[in-house]
Amino acid sequence: METISSQNKISGRQSNIELLRIISMILIILFHFSTYVDFGFPTSSISLNRLWVQFLYSGGRIGVNLFVMISGYFLITSQRFKTEKALKLWTQVFTYSVLAFAAFVVFGGEAFGVKKLIKAVLPMTYQEWWFASAYFILYLFSPFINKLLTGFDRKTYQKFLALAFVLWSVIPTFTNTPFLCNQFIWFVFVYSVAGYIRLHFNSRDDSAGGGRYLLLSAAAYAVSFLSVIALDLIGIKIPTLGEHATYFFAMQRLPSIIVSTFLFIGFTRIRIKNSRVINTLASSVFGVYLIHENPYVRVFIWTKVFGGASGLAGSKLLVAYSLGVAFAIFVFCAAIELLRINTLERFCSKLLGKISDKIVEKTERIFSGRFFEKT
């Protein structure tokens, strides 16, 4: 089995897109800050701090979309399923789930329970991290999705995206219903958007640089954020509307996908010098998510460590504090993940490779058997 060292993988990354990967995770951390800290802003008034927290909230779903787009952009040209990569992804999630459970049972005062143990051992099945479960299933299906999408000519691909866009973004935006769309289906759509950009959009003779699309993304976001301000103003008289001021920034809403798409195109077209620092940090991003969003760690972070942030609702320090929190969480979790990559993952690499080979061998033997040949 051919193996590639982690060093080669890092040096072979495109730093412009890896930088976007880092930005996506920071947006997600800031979103969690705005969600898990209860600031208790009243709908009867508008303040700069309230608008700032709403700004952080609106970036979270954009970050999720960008993360899936990055995966779709690179995976769409993949010709075969990499069992070893799927195993590494599963092992990564399993490791953090079991270690966090064990640590909080032993040191954190969490009561041991059989059901809790089962959930910790089977984190994908029980969706301990909703994103990780949806992303893992997306990766498993990616070879089949690629077969479908790469079989489209450009016009057919456009029709497919247009239909999905209307059903799962336009209609949900104006009706507040997911219209039979779950997280996995949405990921497939976002993955397909990135696939189109890779296969057809970037291949066109278009001299527009990344700066143009970054400006379009900023303009689209600015216009979209006006809906937040408008609903805040209306909410002074109608509190119910004020409570849903960030409505248009849910994952399936038009503003989220439009801003995400322009931002993603912009970063694919800008060229920055290959940076080992950026590429190394980007390799830790998924681990950063798994650590700080673990069910036990999440409660600890936002109640024990940064639980006092709610007291800054009226403080001028809130903006700086929120950015400092995001930076601290990212750096701390990235350090843990890089340690895991260079110790546990490196130690288990050969074993996972052998297991992968066995799975591929057994699978090919099963599907080449008489039953499947007759079927």
**Residue-wise pLDDT tens for the chain (375 aa)?**
333 334 445 545 789 999 999 999 999 999 999 999 999 899 888 999 999 999 999 999 999 999 999 999 999 998 788 889 999 999 999 999 999 999 999 998 889 999 999 999 999 999 999 999 999 999 999 999 999 999 999 999 999 999 999 999 999 999 999 888 999 999 999 999 999 999 998 655 455 578 899 999 999 999 999 999 999 999 999 998 888 999 999 989 999 999 999 999 999 998 888 999 999 999 999 999 999 999 999 999 999 999 889 999 999 999 999 999 999 999 999 999 999 999 999 988 888 888 888 888 888 787 776 655 665
**The pTM is what?**
0.92
**Can you read off the two tokens belonging to residue 349?**
């690499």
The 10 Å Cβ neighbour count of residue 364 is: 10
Closest by CA position to 178, among listed 170, 188, 168: 168
Burial 318-354, CB ≥16 within 10 A → b, else e: bbebbeebbeebbeebbebbeebbeeebeeeeeebbe
CA dist 356 and 81 (Å) reads 11
Whole-angstrom distance, CA of residue 67 vs CA of residue 90: 18
In the Cβ-directed half-sphere of 292, how many Cα atoms lie within 13 Å? Answer: 29
Provide CB contacts within 8 A for 311, sequence distance 6+. none
Could you give the CA distance from residue 324 to residue 332 in angstroms, rounded to a whole number? 12
Q: In angstroms, rounded to a whole number, what is the distance separating the alpha carbons of residues 19 and 10?
A: 13
- DSSP letter, residue 170: I
pLDDT of residue 6: 43
Asked if residues 165 and 254 have their Cβ atoms less than 8 Å apart, the reply is: no
H helices within the chain, ranges in order? 6-11, 15-36, 48-75, 83-106, 114-121, 130-150, 154-165, 171-175, 183-196, 210-237, 239-242, 254-269, 276-282, 285-292, 295-299, 318-340, 346-367, 370-374
Task: Report the distance separating Cα 6 and Cα 266, nearest Å.
Answer: 28
* pLDDT at residue 200, as a whole number: 92
pLDDT of amino acid 369 = 64
Q: Report yes or no: 63 and 259 within 8 Å, Cβ to Cβ.
A: no
- Integer-rounded Cα radius of gyration of the chain: 22
Residue 274 tokens, joined? 């290959």
- The residue with tokens 């051992």 is 121
CA distance 362 to 352: 15
Write out the two tokens for 12.
Answer: 């072979």
In angstroms, the CA 300 to CA 297 distance is 5
Half-sphere exposure of 159 (CA within 13 A, CB side): 5
Sequence-separated (6 or more) residues with CB below 8 Å from residue 41: 47, 49, 50, 53, 313
* Single-letter residue type at 258: I
User: Hey, what are 28's tokens?
Assistant: 């997600």
Residue identified by tokens 């008489």 is 370
- Please provide the distance, in angstroms rounded to a whole number, between the alpha carbons at the two ends of the chain: 31
- Number of residues in the chain: 375
CB 120 within 8 A of CB 128: yes
Q: φ, ψ for residue 237 (rounded to 5)?
A: -95, -35
Which H/E stretch holds residue 81? none
